[in-house]
Chain A
Amino acid sequence: MNLSTFLKLEVKNFVSGKTVLVAVLCLLLASCYAMFYGKNTIDKQQAIIAEIPKFQAEHFKKQLELNKDEFGNMLYYLQHNTVHQPSSWAAFSIGQRDVNPYNIKVKMLTLEGQIYDSEMSNPTTLLYGNFDLAFVIVFLLPLLIIAFCHNLISADQENGIWNLLSSQPVSIAKIIGWRLLIRFVIVLILAFTVITASCFYLQSAFDIRFFYALLIAFSYLTFWFALSAFVISFQKSSTFNALSLLGIWIFLAILAPALLNLVISTTLPVSESFEVTVKQREGYHNKWDKSKAETMQKFYEIYPEYKSFPIPEDKFSWGWYYAMNFMGDLEAENSTEKYIEKLNLRNLWTNRTALFFPTIQAQLSFNNLSKNDLQNHLEYLKSVRTYHRRIREFFYPEIFRNAKVEVVGWENLPKHEFSGENLANNLSQSSYSLLFIASVFGLLFWGNLKKFRMK
């Protein structure tokens, strides 16, 4: 029997197996659902986002009518929408997008009191996580690989075909190598099909991200193949192989991430999140009882250009009111910085641990690709902070000059823009660690294969 006949038979043999067909079909069904789910989730957000300009215009119109005569009072009510636009790859991996607010509305008041307003979602539905394509690739495809590989050698040993095979002129190592390759190619084709289909169905931009998605998925799947090959090369029973591979899967996909999460969150606790809310509140509120000159003094240190406008000590004035609000943010600044620093640290340590755990690495990379991770959320919050500053600085001159509503140049009002689409991507690095771990197992497998003895 020459190699090509052998290969033909092997492929035919493998593809015609009922279990293989069922498994592949299940996986395709799961992928279809995942695409539908991702699209549905992002579409719902897009629909809400699409309504925002209309709401915003109506809100402005109403407030301008209601508070024609008192500009300062109007600013108290005026709400400015900010949006974290989903990237065109957002539906591929939902990440933290279902949790983090994507439409924060800010008034000219103390920002730290407004920025953490979260959506009123049902916590029960957040508990189990999303059934998106990243889930299919990170969690389910490895199971398919395990199903394909666990009896690659042992099935023949158990059926008694092994002796027959080993009497053929093709070497055992080659047979095993080719068998693995056939399964590997089939899984890669499957992953390629699913990712390409999702690119069309989800209307994700066909750019460098498509290749990154393929690169990460392929490196990740290569790891699982190398690992499976290594485990089966010990020539144990199918049951033993299946159970030990599943054990590894549970460890990598469930236990290790959960354990690391606990370790990271207990060693880097963010008690600052309570501190920020309390501090900004006190920072602002205590100013009611203090002399106005004292508050203004601190304000002038940052905005000296308003020194010349008189602030009456004995009665309420809007300039003082908004200066006081700004003081709330200023006094919470320290806690806010510490808080953000802690979150960045959590992010950093998560990224570091990901180097050793392919499951975590793949999931983080997909979240990063779709721009739905913590880091992006922090970027968004940063853009909201900047926007809030620009809004304040836009209105300060008018407030201090006691301007009339009509003279404000509304067309120059700063606009907020933030989209995951425009953020840079460089994910080739994350595939290095995946490929490195894969090659370690590949070498170990190769070592075992060299020593292969007939059983």
Chain B
Amino acid sequence: MIQTIAKKEFTELLRDGRFRWTALIVFALLLVSLGLGWKNYTTIKREKDAAQADSRKSWENQGERNPHSAAHFGVYAFKPKMPLSLIDSGLDNFSGNSIWVEAHYQNPARNRPIEDATALQRFGELTAAGILQLLLPLLIIFLTFDAFAGERTSGILRQILSLGVPRSQLVFGKTLGVLAALLLLLIPSVVIGISALALASGNDVLLLSLPRFALMCVGYLLYFVAFIGISLTVSAVANSTRTSLIILLTFWIASCLLIPRLTNDLATNSVKTPTGSEFWAAVNKDMKEGIDGHDSANKRTKELEERVLAQYGVTKKEDLPINFTGISLQAGEEHGNEIYDKHYTNLKNQHLSQERFQGFFGVISPFLPIRGFSMSMAGTDLRHQQNFTDSVEQYRRDLQKMLNDDFANNSTGKDGMNYKVGKTFWEKTPDFEYVSLNTSNAFGSQIFNILMLILWSFGSLAVSVLAANKMRAY
């Protein structure tokens, strides 16, 4: 029975001019956004790869220098563009894209594209994800707002029900029918999406991205089912097609446009974050007074000096077989690392809890969980950004240690800052290579959003069955 109803709904939709036209428009938009996403992806990837290579080249060719002087010269680490960002660019335009890796400082990521953008950027972004999240629900509403209300007016509903068709089967049949019609539009888009992905990156990257891509598809499917369920429910309850449409459009405007903006502000105010000045003032205070507040920088250096002198049994730094400056610099780095860990971890957690806070509103808007889930699978959400900054920091620490160790061990106390190394050493230092957060970790952070999507889709289908059971037939 379900099959027959689904088939009837499906053929009806295909014959319907409004489905053909709107589906065509949505499909065209999906194509355009995938095309532009692909173009954007390749351009930015090329730019970043070139910048990364440039930075490395000038590091390797910096000539003869003291390792610590080189540490001050520094290198740049650029955030690689994620392959799936051509579908969902997520936070890419709102977060920093490059980090300057230097001695003593854990710099925040800079070069946020939003700072180079005009007000146009704030209207929203045309990505495949944006189309799927905003317009597909509208298409669903458009196709189903009169599913019951329309058939009731025309009297067909009464006839169907008089045949003894169980109402729940009617709901499932209609759901499947609409879904099948949507898939007609989505499957070609998926094929095109995968081809764009394959074109933009090599086969190995494609293979790595496929599980994420598949999960993304499942998330969107749940999201669409949720809207079909909501739409069928309202259509069953509303007494006219016009009322049904108005209620559904209001829901769409509220959940896709208003709630995201409204909850933004609530999320920002839910957890207080320090301003840039406050953050750096706190870091500098700890640097000076020591992380526990009573070991001043001078005292720490003095203690270290005494310890090293005693270890080598000499009385003056100049007599040391190693270079004390290198040791002292590394000790300074390690002390600094503790302080950065403390403050940056705090800030990161504050940002995550703001995000979590906003996520809770997924209870009233299915848009929020799909948005979060899609970004996460695309590798463009907050966690992936934080993972990037963490990796750069790890790279910075490894690089600093390598430079300081070489400085300490390969020169003596007498050399001071006159010790220099050249190209062969620079070539030995590692280059920054970013390995993205793995899929299972990303998925693990999305449990709440996934639960919300499941709840919305199954919940709304269940409610629509209830509504269908109670609806009037005429």
Chain A residues positioned under 8 Å from B246 (CB to CB): 19, 147, 242
**Number of A-B pairs, beta carbon distance below 8 Å:** 209
Q: Which of B92-100, B193-201, B441-449, B454-462 contacts A (4 or more CB under 8 A)?
A: B92-100
Q: Which residues of A contact B91 (CB under 8 A)?
A: 123-124, 127
Taking a contact as CB atoms under 8 Å apart, the answer to whether B354 and A119 are in contact is no
Tell which of A184-192, A250-258, A328-336, A440-448 binds the partner. Answer: A250-258
Residues of B71-89 at the interface with A, using a CB-CB cut-off of 8 Å, are: 72-74, 76, 78
**Counting CB contacts under 8 A, is A32 at the interface?**
no
Question: In the complex the two chains form, what is the Cα distance from A259 to B123 in whole Å?
Answer: 10
Is A306 in the interface zone, CB < 8 Å from B?
Answer: no
Contacts A242-B249, A277-B100; A261 near B117 (Cβ below 8 A)? yes
Instruction: Tell me how far the C-beta of B279 lies from the nearest C-beta in chain A, rounded to whole angstroms.
Output: 6
Cβ-defined contact, A281 with B242, below 8 A: no
Query: How many whole Å from B287's CB to the nearest CB in chain A?
Result: 13
Q: Are A274 and B347 in touch, CB under 8 angstroms? A: no
A260 CB contact (under 8 Å) in B94, B120, B258, B279: B120
Q: Does A297 make an interface contact (CB < 8 A)?
A: no
- Between B95, B120, B262, the greatest number of chain A beta carbons within 10 A of the residue's beta carbon is seen for B120
B262, A274: Cβ atoms closer than 8 Å: no
Closest to A255 in B: B126
Question: Of B4-12, B50-58, B184-192, B464-472, which binds chain A?
Answer: B50-58
SS of B interface (majority): helix
Shortest CB distance A100–B (Å): 6
The answer on a CB contact under 8 Å between A116 and B110 is yes
Q: What chain B residues lie within 8 Å of A131 (beta carbons)?
A: 258, 261-262, 264-265
The yes or no answer to B414 lying at the interface (CB within 8 A) is: no
Knowing A117-B110, A118-B112 are in contact, say whether A278-B123 is a contact too (CB < 8 A). Answer: no
Residues 260-283 of chain A: 1 if any B CB is under 8 Å from the residue's CB, otherwise 0? 111011100111011001100110
**By the criterion CB–CB under 8 Å, are B257 and A139 in contact?**
yes
Give residues 376-408 of A contacting B (CB, 8 Å): 377
Whole-angstrom CA separation of A242 from B145 in the bound complex? 13
The CA of A147 and the CA of B246, in the complex, are separated in Å by 9
A240: nearest chain-B partner, CB-CB: B18
Given contacts A55-B277, A131-B264, contact A253 B123 (CB under 8 A): yes
With A131-B265, A274-B47, A278-B76 in contact, do A257 and B123 touch (Cβ < 8 Å)? yes
B110 touches A118 (CB 8 A): yes
A residues within 8 A CB of B265?
Answer: 37, 40-41, 131
Chain A residue nearest in CB terms to B48: A274
B residues less than 8 Å from A278 (CB atoms): 51, 54-55, 58, 76
Q: How far is the CB of A14 from chain B (nearest CB, A)?
A: 17
B388 to chain A, nearest CB (A): 12
A129 within 8 A of B: yes
A253 CA / B32 CA spacing, docked (Å): 18
Contact with B along A360-371 (1 / 0, CB 8 A): 100110010000
Instruction: Check A123–B385 contact: CB distance below 8 A.
Output: yes
CB-defined contacts of A37 to chain B, threshold 8 Å: 265
Which residue of chain A is the closest to B260 with respect to CB atoms? A128
Q: What is the 8 Å Cβ interface bit string for chain A, positions 103-122, against chain B (1 contact, 0 not)?
A: 10100000000001111111
Judged by a CB distance under 8 angstroms, whether B170 is at the interface is: no
Closest to B37 in A: A262
Q: A131-B264, A254-B123, A277-B98 are in contact. Are A120 and B279 (CB under 8 A)?
A: yes
Q: Which residues of B contact A19 (CB under 8 A)?
A: 246
Segment of B173-181, B219-227, B267-275, B427-435 engaged in the interface with chain A: B267-275
A96 close to B (CB within 8 Å): yes
Q: Are B119 and A367 in contact (CB under 8 A)?
A: yes
Q: How far is the CB of B255 from chain A (nearest CB, A)?
A: 13
Q: Are A128 and B261 in contact (CB under 8 A)?
A: yes
B54 and A269 contacting across the interface, CB-CB below 8 Å: no
What are the interface flags for B244-263 relative to A under an 8 Å C-beta threshold, 1 for contact and 0 otherwise? 01100100010001101110
Distance between Cα atoms of A103 and B275 in the complex (Å): 10
Question: Is B264 in contact with A374, judged by CB distance below 8 angstroms?
Answer: no
Known: A125-B268, A254-B134, A262-B126. A120 touches B115 (CB 8 A): no
Q: Could you tell me the distance between the alpha carbons of A359 and B118 in the complex, rounded to whole angstroms?
A: 14
Total interface residues on B, using CB and 8 Å? 79
B150 to chain A, nearest CB (A): 10
Residues of chain B from 24 to 82 with CB closer than 8 A to chain A in the complex = 29, 32, 36, 39-40, 43, 47, 51, 54-55, 58, 63, 65, 69, 72-74, 76, 78
Chain A neighbourhood of B258, CB < 8 A: 30, 131
**Which residues of chain A come closer than 8 Å to B242, judged between CB atoms?**
151, 238-239, 242
- Chain A residues lying within 8 Å of B138, measured Cβ to Cβ, are 246, 250
Q: In the complex, which of the residues A117, A126, A128, A239 has the most CB atoms of chain B within 10 Å of its own CB atom?
A: A128
* Chain A, residue nearest B279 (CB): A120
Return chain A residues, CB-CB under 8 Å to B405.
Answer: none
* Docked-complex contact A125 and B354, CB < 8 angstroms: yes
Closest to A33 in B: B262
Instruction: Tell whether B241 is near chain A: CB-to-CB under 8 Å.
Output: yes
Q: Closest residue to A147 on the B side, CB-wise?
A: B246
Which among B58, B260, B268 has the greatest number of chain A C-beta atoms within 10 A?
B268
Provide the residues of chain A in CB contact with B113, threshold 8 Å. Answer: 265
Task: Tell me if B115 and A100 are in contact (CB < 8 A).
Answer: yes
- Whether A346 lies near B123 (C-beta < 8 A) is no
Would you call A246 and B94 a contact (CB within 8 A)?
no
State A125–B276 Cα separation when bound (angstroms). 16
Contacts known (A122-B355, A124-B91, A281-B73); A274 close to B98, Cβ less than 8 A: yes
| Residue on B nearest A288 in the bound complex, by CB | B69
Interface residue? B142 (CB, 8 A): yes
What residue in chain B is nearest A242 (Cβ atoms)? B245
A289 to B, closest residue via Cβ: B63
Q: Are B120 and A264 in contact (CB under 8 A)?
A: yes
B29 near A255: Cβ-Cβ < 8 Å: yes
Tell me, yes or no, whether B111 is within 8 Å of chain A by CB: yes
Q: Which A315-346 residues have C-beta < 8 A from chain B? A: 342-343, 346
Residues of A within 8 A of B114 (CB): 96, 99, 126
Q: With contacts A130-B261, A277-B98, A363-B119 known, is A266 near B355, CB below 8 A?
A: no
**Contact between chains at A346 and B118 (CB < 8 Å):** yes
Q: Tell yes or no: B234 within 8 A of A by CB.
A: no
Q: Which residues of A contact B43 (CB under 8 A)?
A: 266, 269
Question: Least Cβ distance of B358 to chain A in Å?
Answer: 7
Cβ contact of B115, chosen from A118, A242, A285, cutoff 8 A: A118
CA distance A105 to B280 in the complex (A): 12
6 additional contacts, CB 8 Å, given A40-B265, A124-B355, A261-B125? A105-B277, A117-B110, A258-B120, A258-B123, A261-B117, A347-B118
Q: Which 7 A-B pairs have the closest CB atoms?
A: A257-B123, A258-B126, A261-B120, A123-B94, A123-B95, A350-B118, A122-B351
Task: Give me 14 A-to-B residue pairs in the complex whose CB atoms sit less than 8 angstroms apart, sorted by A's number.
Answer: A103-B277, A131-B265, A242-B246, A254-B134, A261-B123, A261-B125, A261-B126, A273-B111, A274-B47, A278-B51, A342-B116, A360-B120, A363-B122, A374-B118
